[in-house]
Amino acid sequence: MMRSLVIGSRRSGLARVQAEWVKNTLEGSSTGRSFTIAFLETSGDRWSERGEKTLPGRGIFTKELESALLRREIDIAVHSLKDLATELPEGLTLAAVSPREDARDVWVSRSFPHWEAVPAGSTVAAGSPRRVRQLQELRPDFSFCEIRGNVDTRLRKVEANPDWAGTVLAAAGLKRLGLFNRELHFSFFSFEVLLPAPGQGALGIEARAEDKEAVGLLRLLHDEGAGWEVAAERAFLRSLGGGCRSAVGAKATVERHELVLEGIVWVEALGRNYRRRIVGPAREAESLGRALAEKLLSETGSAHGGDKEIE
């Protein structure tokens, strides 16, 4: 009898839901294989739970899973793709990108149904430099404070803290966990107002590159359109030299094999965000992401841009 293939996941409630989706989808695809889930704690989970101020470095939510893959303790690793470094460890491959859940960000508040209704001088809890920098330009009258913890923990903190006007969370996590039933105000940010993290809303599913069986099975989960979108977004982030804690936002959209990519980056030396857009064939997703980054770097005096048509 063949052994079960082991799916590695973080321990958070959201990560468990995501890992169960992978397991159930694979088992429902008549693969003839069985799967089990192993839950691992990551340095990012420990940092978030302890409220430590010093970041443990890049890949804080993924490196323990990747190490377990390389040690052959697990066969598949499931990540929120926005947490996954743009450069994977040698020997690992991004075998599948899931169909994408809603990639928008959501305003969440006890008292204010929309971010535009918040009084001047109010405090917004936001743990992401990307969100803070974009919101600063929309509402320079806001003050910001740090918020950490998983999705449910952040909601409970907002519910319990009357000094906070609200916070911003990813729609995908709220939807996967069924948390829109809380007695809070929820309103969606359009992409025109707030660009999400590269890869937001998609799952990135890793395997060992040499494990042809696992890689082949995971292709059953792969969504081609989402794959092109996140390839463009991650190439944009990689070319800017950013990580998951960088003030970089990006959203690609694929329609009829054409890809539209919008990207934004905060330039500290200039004290402002730069946002641009590029259009091209979806099959050239990575080169479009690189071209958009090169254009922004050129405009901000950091590098020379290419000759793609940027709008």
Helix (DSSP H) and strand (DSSP E) numbers for the chain: 9, 13
**Coil, strand, or helix at residue 271?**
coil
Q: Active-site residue 244, yes or no?
A: yes
Q: Active-site residue 176, yes or no?
A: no
- Tell me which of 16, 33, 148, 276 is the catalytic residue: 148
Q: Active-site residue 148, yes or no?
A: yes
Beta strands in 41-118 (DSSP E): 76-80, 92-97, 105-109
From residue 168, alpha-carbon distances to 80, 107, 160, 224 in Å are 17, 5, 16, 29
The Cα 304–Cα 307 span in angstroms is 10
The Cα 189–Cα 196 span in angstroms is 9
- Tell me which of 105, 244, 251, 295 is the catalytic residue: 244
Q: Active-site residue 141, yes or no?
A: no
Q: Active-site residue 130, yes or no?
A: yes
- Tell me which of 10, 133, 154, 208 is the catalytic residue: 154
Q: Active-site residue 154, yes or no?
A: yes
What is the dihedral sign for C-alpha 267, 273, 279, 285? positive
Q: Active-site residue 145, yes or no?
A: no
The Cα 123–Cα 269 span in angstroms is 25
Structural element, H or E, at residue 205: strand 203-208
- Tell me which of 23, 104, 131, 290 is the catalytic residue: 131
- Tell me which of 82, 176, 208, 238 is the catalytic residue: 82
- Tell me which of 10, 100, 104, 130 is the catalytic residue: 130
- Tell me which of 10, 23, 45, 83 is the catalytic residue: 83
Residues carrying an active site annotation: 82-83, 130-131, 148, 154, 244
